[in-house]
């Protein structure tokens, strides 16, 4: 069933005045204060009564805190921001209890600190609006300058003000928007192999294309080491240490921004190009425990898979998640012979049948033909049944590798 509406998020940077910035600082501190107070009540309630407080009880507790002598300043904070703190805590404890019942590891919700797990300020949709000309109206703040606001015809659900790493403030908003119009794909099917050297290797039935991995963390390692050493030499609690911490956070933010931009561009291009996208269901956490953990983290494979999934749903595409144990890099795309030596991360696959390919290109070809052998390689629109276990895949005939896609 095609979605009629989708929830889209966007982030823009705020440029508040000095007075507005002071208010945001105070409200963020108030939300942090309420969270920590409620967390204390949760611990006390569990020790005395053996149960946790849920959303309705948490909201009553917030009212009690606001009426406590000495805490009248909480009345200056937007009421919906404090109610959102209750909703967030309710969600955190429900997730914690559900994980414990299922036997999964899940840590107890932690206290919030300034600059560390800091609380955001929720802005209700009724009093939040974009006024045009890079200006946005926020509750109890008035008109604030912004940059990067994305025009959206959908209904605004609300927004959250958070601290920007390295200084400044960000406004994250969500809209319920009409589903994007269907756009005809360029090709019918592609096989996508994610890697370290290349962010993605794509085979569309005719040609192989690669998208380079920018490796932002590797490029910033020298600057990060220097910044870490500089901060470690500063006196704790001093002004110079705060400056060094801001400089270090700015480098980390730039690394994150470069990675996010590359992943968004990649996933947009892939979902716009093909009707069917075949990609491996990678165990990213398991890969991060290996010798290439830093390089795997620098790629952001988990984010790539997540964005391909929801962007494909927006564009009415089909995503085929190939079994993670399918030997795409070890299987020769020409004759189907499995080369165990490729487990040693050899860069090239050389087969007796004459096939010579780099491991990523070979894997992309195998992913492209995944599941098509059962239909004798007739290239037509795939069905959702292809997402099941297909361990009994037949070898790929060499004469059919590179066969053009029929549109």
The alpha carbons of the chain give a radius of gyration, in whole angstroms, of: 26
Residues 97 and 104: their CA atoms lie apart, in Å, by: 10
Q: What b-and-e string marks burial along 219-237, b requiring 16 or more CB atoms within 10 Å of the CB?
A: ebeeeeeebeebbeeeeee
Which DSSP string corresponds to 294-336?
HHHHHHTHHHHHHHHHHHHHHTT-EEEEE-TTS-TTTB-TTT-
Residues 104 and 303: their CA atoms lie apart, in Å, by: 22
Eight-class DSSP state of 43: H
Catalytic residue, candidates 90, 204, 280, 298: 280
What backbone phi and psi angles, to 5 degrees, belong to 223? Answer: -65, -35
Give yes or no: 386 in active site: no
Tokens of residue 296, six digits:
């795997």
Residues 315 and 277: their CA atoms lie apart, in Å, by: 12
Residues 6+ away with beta carbon under 8 Å from 356: 348, 349, 350
Catalytic residue, candidates 204, 275, 358, 360: 360
Give yes or no: 280 in active site: yes
Give the Cα-Cα-Cα angle 258, 264, 268 (nearest 5 degrees): 150
Give yes or no: 341 in active site: no
15, 161 Cβ separation under 8 angstroms: no
Catalytic residue, candidates 193, 275, 358, 372: 193
Residues 396 and 352: their CA atoms lie apart, in Å, by: 15
Q: Given the structure tokens 């009724």, which residue do they identify?
A: 126
Catalytic positions, written as ranges: 193, 280, 360
């Amino acid at each position: 069933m095609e979605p009629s509406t989708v929830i889209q998020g966007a982030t823009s940077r705020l440029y508040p005045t000095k007075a507005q910035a002071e208010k945001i600082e105070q409200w963020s501190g108030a939300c942090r204060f309420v969270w920590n107070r409620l967390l204390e009540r949760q611990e006390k309630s569990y020790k005395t009564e053996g149960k946790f407080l849920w959303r309705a009880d948490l909201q009553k507790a917030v009212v009690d805190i606001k009426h406590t002598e000495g805490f009248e300043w909480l009345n200056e904070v937007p009421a919906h921001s404090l109610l959102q703190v209750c909703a967030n805590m309710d969600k955190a404890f429900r997730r914690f209890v559900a994980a414990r019942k299922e036997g999964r590891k899940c840590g107890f919700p932690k206290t919030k600190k300034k600059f560390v797990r800091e609380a955001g300020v929720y802005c209700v949709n009724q009093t939040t609006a974009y006024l045009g000309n890079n200006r946005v109206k926020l509750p109890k703040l008035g008109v604030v300058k912004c940059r990067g606001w994305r025009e959206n015809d959908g209904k605004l659900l609300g927004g959250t003000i958070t601290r920007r790493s390295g200084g400044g403030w960000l406004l994250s908003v969500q809209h319920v928007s009409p589903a994007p119009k269907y756009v005809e794909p360029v090709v019918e099917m592609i096989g996508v192999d994610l890697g370290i050297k290349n962010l993605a290797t794509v085979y569309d039935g005719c040609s192989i294309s690669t998208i380079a991995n920018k490796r932002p963390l590797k490029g910033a390692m020298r600057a990060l080491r220097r910044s870490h050493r500089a901060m470690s030499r500063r006196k704790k609690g001093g002004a110079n240490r705060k400056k060094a911490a801001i400089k270090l956070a700015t480098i980390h933010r730039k690394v994150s921004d470069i990675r996010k931009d590359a992943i968004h561009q990649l996933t947009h291009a892939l979902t716009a190009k093909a009707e069917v996208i075949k990609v491996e269901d990678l165990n990213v956490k398991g890969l991060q425990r290996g010798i290439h953990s830093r390089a795997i983290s620098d790629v952001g494979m988990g984010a790539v898979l997540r964005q391909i999934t929801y962007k494909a749903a927006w564009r009415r595409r089909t995503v085929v998640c190939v079994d993670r144990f399918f030997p795409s890099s070890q299987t020769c795309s020409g004759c189907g012979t499995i080369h165990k030596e490729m487990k040693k991360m050899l860069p090239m696959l050389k087969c007796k049948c004459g096939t010579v390919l780099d491991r990523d290109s070979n894997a992309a070809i195998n992913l492209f033909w995944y599941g098509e052998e059962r239909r004798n390689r007739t290239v037509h629109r795939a069905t959702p049944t292809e997402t099941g276990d297909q361990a009994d895949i037949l070898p790929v005939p060499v004469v059919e590798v590179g066969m053009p896609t029929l549109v």
